Amino acid sequence: MATTNALLLLAQAAVYFTVMMSLLRARKVIGIGVFMCALGVMHFLETYLASVFYIQLPFGIVSPGSTILFSGKLLMILLLYIREDAMVARQPIYGLLIGNFLIVALVMVLRNHDTVAVTGGRLPDIAFVDEMGWLMIWGTILLFIDSIAIIVLYERVGSLFGKHLGLRILVCGAVVLTFDQAGFFLALHYVSGAPLHVFWGGWIAKMFATLLYSGFFVIYLRFFSSTSHWFTDRSFRDVFEVLTYRERYERLLEQTNHDHLTGTLHRRHYDQNAPEILATSLAERRALSMLVIDIDHFKQVNDRHGHQVGDEVLKKIAALLMENLRAGDHLYRFGGEEFVLLCERLPASGAISLADRLRGVIQDYSKTSMPTAVTVSIGVASAPQDGSSVEELFAAADSRLYDAKRAGRNRVNGPDPQT
């Protein structure tokens, strides 16, 4: 009997792997959603089998749901990540988390119905429903942790195993499934009093399942694909941030640091970061310059053409400035029609040259491609000769800006490069 059960498990694993890999291979033809739906549809069955359905194998008692279905699902999530990327792999991870919690929530509501017997006097076993609910919750949490852990671990051990994909998968699967077996057994023991030999039998079975699925994958690579098509070289830290939606948070944070109209960094970002940029430059004895850029007669643009045209002028000038930034330049909308450009590793002479080039680009572009021709005046200051604080630099650049405006506008006024 034990031998027959082992052969049946082998057949189940082969069928599972073949069908799921076929769906993954055909994802560009039939869509990745088919693979993801097939991946998620069996979770309730996995939990049911793991709680009540056990078979005897030569080394102990195991659950096919935990051994074949859950181990296979975890491997498939890893293979989906390897074949695609973290942004694709996180979709079933979070979908399973939300979907399974939704099932539990709905079942907890359904159990309060007054039920009637329809066939053979059979009624639902509410105690079993409650037991399944707790196991579903715990199993879902474990699956969520396992899925992220196996992907991050896969990248983490990449330097040890290189392009030996089968070995990387085997090691990652063994480590994460050992954690999973311990975690699920604790819940199973608490809910249904499962004995300790269930843990050991399940653990051995999951190790064999990991070895079996890794072997299937190596065979697949040998006859249907190649290592080069699957090999990835991604930073495990970046992968973790994508899997946990950290990059969405950082993107949102980045968006909040930008002016909504012009796309430049806004004043709050200047107040928070400019002092640190200046302090670093001074500490490392690197040049740093500040350009204060003001649109000439901007009030007249608004008065004559309306604020909509004024907004278009602001956006186009900001776009021109950003197109001409160097690496290490930081452009802020300081307020109204005024911009501040902080330039790392740029001495006074270079800053004046850059300012004059920006002035000329804006003048020439506005004649043909803006709603109305505009010019800018620019004041330049450099550290440390004009000051050792952001306030001192800004005061110097702002003073030179107004000198440029008093001298006729459309001008650049900066420090003497020789001082």
Binned at pLDDT 50, 70 and 90, residue 166 comes out as confident
Where is average pLDDT lowest: 32-36, 128-132, 203-207, 407-411?
Answer: 128-132
Q: Angle 106-35-152 (CA atoms, 0-180°, nearest 5)?
A: 90
Residue 338 placed within a domain: yes
> Would you call 338 helix, strand, or coil by DSSP?
strand
**Eight-state DSSP code of residue 258:** B
Cβ–Cβ under 8 Å, residues 333 and 283 = no
Residue 108 placed within a domain: yes
User: Which residues are CB-neighbours of 246 under 8 A, at least 6 positions away?
Assistant: 240
Claim to verify: residue 233 and residue 316 sit in the same structural domain: no
Claim to verify: residue 140 and residue 176 sit in the same structural domain: yes
Claim to verify: residue 362 and residue 404 sit in the same structural domain: yes
75 token code pair: 């491997």
60 token code pair: 């102990």
Look up tokens 């079996």; give the residue: 212
Q: Measured between alpha carbons, how far is residue 397 from residues 252, 264, 279 in Å?
A: 32, 20, 18
Range of the domain at 361: 261-413
Name the more confident of 349 and 53: 349
Taking Cα atoms as reference points, which of 211, 212, 213, 198 lies closest to residue 63? Answer: 198
Claim to verify: residue 38 and residue 149 sit in the same structural domain: yes
Q: Which of 219, 250, 281 is the last residue of a domain?
A: 250
Q: Read out DSSP for 69-97?
A: IIHHHHHHHHHHHHHS-HHHHHHHHHHHH
Claim to verify: residue 183 and residue 301 sit in the same structural domain: no
Binned at pLDDT 50, 70 and 90, residue 111 comes out as confident
Cβ–Cβ under 8 Å, residues 291 and 351 = yes
- Segment 14-44, tens digit of pLDDT: 999 999 999 988 888 888 889 888 888 877 7
pLDDT of res. 374: 94
Residue 82 placed within a domain: yes
pLDDT of res. 197: 81
Q: Can you tell me the distance from the alpha carbon of 211 to that of 227, in angstroms, rounded to the nearest whole number?
A: 18
Q: Is the pLDDT of residue 264 over 60?
A: yes
Where is average pLDDT lowest: 5-19, 147-161, 227-241?
Answer: 227-241
Q: Is the pLDDT of residue 240 over 60?
A: yes
Claim to verify: residue 166 and residue 211 sit in the same structural domain: yes
Q: Can you tell me the distance from the alpha carbon of 26 to that of 231, in angstroms, rounded to the nearest whole number?
A: 19
- Give the mean model confidence (pLDDT) for residues 132-156: 85
Claim to verify: residue 65 and residue 155 sit in the same structural domain: yes
Binned at pLDDT 50, 70 and 90, residue 335 comes out as confident
Q: Which of 250, 274, 293 is the last residue of a domain?
A: 250
Claim to verify: residue 273 and residue 242 sit in the same structural domain: no
Look up tokens 């930081």; give the residue: 330
Helices (H), 111-195: 126-156, 158-161, 165-192
Residue 398 placed within a domain: yes
316's enclosing H/E stretch is helix 307-323
pLDDT of res. 285: 93
**Eight-state DSSP code of residue 317:** H
Average pLDDT, the chain: 86
Claim to verify: residue 329 and residue 387 sit in the same structural domain: yes
Residue 118 placed within a domain: no
- Give the mean model confidence (pLDDT) for residues 182-199: 80
Total tally of structural domains belonging to the chain: 2
Q: What is the dihedral of CA 396, 397, 399, 402, to 10 degrees?
A: 170
User: Which residues are CB-neighbours of 359 under 8 A, at least 6 positions away?
Assistant: 375, 376, 377, 378, 410, 411, 412
Cβ–Cβ under 8 Å, residues 45 and 69 = yes
Claim to verify: residue 215 and residue 288 sit in the same structural domain: no
Claim to verify: residue 173 and residue 287 sit in the same structural domain: no
- Segment 354-411, tens digit of pLDDT: 999 999 999 999 888 888 889 999 999 999 999 999 999 999 999 999 999 999 999 9
Residue 286: CATH number of its domain: 3.30.70.270
61's enclosing H/E stretch is strand 60-62
Q: Can you tell me the distance from the alpha carbon of 36 to that of 300, in angstroms, rounded to the nearest whole number?
A: 59
pLDDT of res. 253: 55
Residue 179 placed within a domain: yes
**Eight-state DSSP code of residue 325:** P
Q: Which of 250, 274, 292 is the last residue of a domain?
A: 250
Residue 324 placed within a domain: yes
